[in-house]
Structure 1
Amino acid sequence: MGFSLSPLADQDGFRLEAFDTIGSTNAVALERAQAGDPGKLWIVSKQQESGRGRRGRAWTTSHGNLAASLLLTGNFELKTAATLGFVAGLSLADALDAVCPAAAFKVGIDGAGNSGSGKSVLRVELKWPNDLLADGAKLAGILLESTQLPNNRLAIVVGIGVNVVVYPDDVPYPATSLMKLGANCDAETLFLALSDAWQENSRIWSEGRGLAEIRKRWLARAAGVGSEVAVRVDGAVLRGIFETIDEDCRFVIRDNEGGRVKIAAGDVHFGAVASANAE
C-alpha cells in the first residue's frame, strides 16, 4: 500500500507528494512554497534523514515511521497561524483513535485508563506545545515553520513526525512507538486517517475563527492538567501547577507563590522527577 489522501482531502483540493526516503519533509515543503506552490500540499515519507525539531534539534526517522508536512499559504497573521499546531495535535490524536483501537495505550501521565477488562483503553494525550504522548512517553512531535511570500502572503508548514515502528533511545525523555504499544498500523494507514482528520479539525479552526472550540477540544485531551510542572524558558525554570491554556493557547501555570504565569514558548516537564530533570 502506498501513501494516499482521504477522499475528503482529495475533494477539497489537497495534493500529495510521497517519498520513500527524504532529507526533511518540512524543508521540501518550504522549497515548494518559495517556488510558488499554492499550498494545500502534503509532503510525506517513511524515512527522514535530516529532519529537525523545535529549537533546531535533530529529528530523524527510521524507515517505517511517518514524516508528514502540510504546506498552507494565505494571508494569515503569524500569531493565528501558530495555533495550527493545536489543530495538528488534535488531528493526529483523532487519526490514532481511528486506526489503532487495539493498541495497549494508557493515559499519558498517570497510567490510568484501564477498562477493568484487563485491556488498556486506547488514549493518547497532547503535551503542550507540540508533542503527543502515549503511556507517558513521546510518540510524536509537531513543528511549525513559516516563510514570507510576495503580496504579504505567508506560507505555513505543519510538520508531523510519528514513531510508528521505531523510537529513539538516545533522548533525555521517554519515547515509544506504535509497534511497541501493540498497534498493528503502518505509516500509510496512519497518514490516510490523518489527512481525513485534518479536514474536520481545520474546518473547526476556520482560519482562527474557531480557535475557542479547538482550545476546548485540545484541553479535553491535554496531558498533565492539575499536575506539578516545570517549564524551561530562556534558561530559567518556572515551577508550579499546570492550570490550562488561555484563549491564545499560552501555557498557564499557578506558581509557588500563587500567581498565574502565562508562557508563550518553553519546554515542559511533568511530575516531581521531571521537574528536577528540567534543571
Structure 2
Amino acid sequence: MFALAPSALAAGYRLEALTSVGSTNALALERARQGAAGNLWVVAGEQTGGRGRRGRPWSTPPGNLAATLLVTEVSDAAIAATLGFVAGLALGDALAAVVPAAGVSVGLDGGAAGRDRFTLKWPNDVLADGAKLAGILLESGTLEGGRLALAVGIGVNVVSHPQDVPYPATSLAALGARVDAGELFLALSDAWVDNVRRWNGGRGLAAIRQRWLERAAGLGAEVSVRIDGRVARGIFETIDESCRFVIREDDGTRLKIAAGDVHFGAVATARP
C-alpha cells in the first residue's frame, strides 16, 4: 500500500510500512534507540495510540494516514523544531499534487480560491476550507552520547474525520477527493525531499518562512492565543525569523509567541 517516491529513494530515504501501529512517532523513536539512522519513514494506515499537541489523542482509523519521519542528523533543538514548518509545506505540496487529479479544484499556488482551500495554521495544522484536515507533531528523544532524535509526525484525515471535537474537522473524502493514503504518502515523500533541500539544515529557513506565510491561515485577521494563563487577542501580523507567532494587540503591542493555542473568527473576537 505504501511506497517511497523515486526522488526519496534516490536521496537515501527508507520505509517501514505497517498495517496498524500504536504510534508512528513512538515507533520511530524506538527505532532510533535501537540504532536506526535518520531518513526513515514509519507509516501506517491505522494508528491506535496516536497523540496530538499537549498529549491530546489523535485518532487514525483505517484508511487515514499516519506517517513519521525519523531525523537524527540535526543537533540543535531550536533548528530541528523548524522542521514542523517544512512538514506543513511538504504536506501542502503533496495535497496540491494529488487532490486536483482526484477531481477537486484546489491549488496552493493558484488563485484566492485555491489558497483558501488548503491553508497552514500556526504552528502545526493543515486546514481545508477552514476545517482541520491534518496535524503535525514533533517529538524528540536523546540517544547515546547526547545525540538528538526527532520524530516528525504527520496525521491526515483521508477517508474519515473525528466528529466529537471542539473545532471543525474534515477529511479528503468529505471534500470529494478520491485519493487513498498510499497515493498521498507517495506524494508526501517526494515533496519532503524538495522542501527539506530548501530548508538546508536550517540555512534556508528564511525561504521556508516566506513560503509558509504565503499559505498561512488567518494572516491579517483577528486571532486569540492562549498563553501563560491568559488569552491574548489581536491581529496576526506574521511569523518572525524564528517562526514565532506575532500578533499586534489592541494597544499596539507586538507580541511574539513561541507556543500556544491559536483561534480565529468568532472564537478570537469573543470577549468575556
TM-score between the two structures when normalised by the length of structure 2: 0.94
Q: Using the alignment, how far apart are the partners of 2:196 and 2:116 within structure 1?
A: 24
Q: Using the alignment, how far apart are the partners of 2:121 and 2:237 within structure 1?
A: 13
Residue 149 (structure 1) aligned to one of 120, 124, 143: 143
Q: Using the alignment, how far apart are the partners of 2:59 and 2:218 within structure 1?
A: 27
SS in 2 for 1:151: helix
Could you list the runs of 4 or more consecutive aligned residues of structure 1 that deviate by over 3 angstroms after TM superposition? 104-107, 120-123, 273-277
Q: Does 1:138 align with 2:137?
A: no
- Structure 2: unaligned runs, 5 residues or longer: none
How large is the RMSD of aligned CA atoms in angstroms? 1.8
Counterpart residue identity of residue 20, structure 1: T
Alignment of 1:152-231 (within 5 A): 152-231=146-225
Residue 261 (structure 2) aligned to one of 238, 247, 267: 267
Deviations 1:58-116 (A, max 9, x none): 01111100000000102420000000000000000000000001325599xxxx944xx
Q: Using the alignment, how far apart are the partners of 1:161 and 1:236 within structure 2?
A: 29
Equivalent pairs, count: 268
Query: In the alignment, which residue of structure 2 is the partner of 1:51?
Result: 50
Residue 270 (structure 2) aligned to one of 243, 253, 276: 276
Deviations 1:222-245 (A, max 9, x none): 001000000011331100000000
Query: In the alignment, which residue of structure 2 is the partner of 1:76?
Result: 75
Answer with 149-158 or 247-256: which moved more.
Answer: 149-158
Contact 2:96 2:107 in 1 (8 A): no
Deviations 1:32-78 (A, max 9, x none): 01111111100001111110000010011111000000001024200
Identical-pair percentage = 64
- Structure 1: unaligned runs, 5 residues or longer: 115-119
Contact 1:103 1:122 in 2 (8 A): no
Distance of aligned partners of 1:122 and 1:5 in 2 relative to their CA distance in 1, 3 Å threshold: farther
Q: Using the alignment, how far apart are the partners of 1:266 and 1:41 within structure 2?
A: 29
Q: Using the alignment, how far apart are the partners of 1:6 and 1:250 within structure 2?
A: 32
Q: Using the alignment, how far apart are the partners of 2:15 and 2:257 within structure 1?
A: 35
Query: In the alignment, which residue of structure 1 is the partner of 2:239?
Result: 245
TM-score between the two structures when normalised by the length of structure 1: 0.92
Distance of aligned partners of 1:134 and 1:64 in 2 relative to their CA distance in 1, 3 Å threshold: same
Q: Using the alignment, how far apart are the partners of 1:122 and 1:5 within structure 2?
A: 29
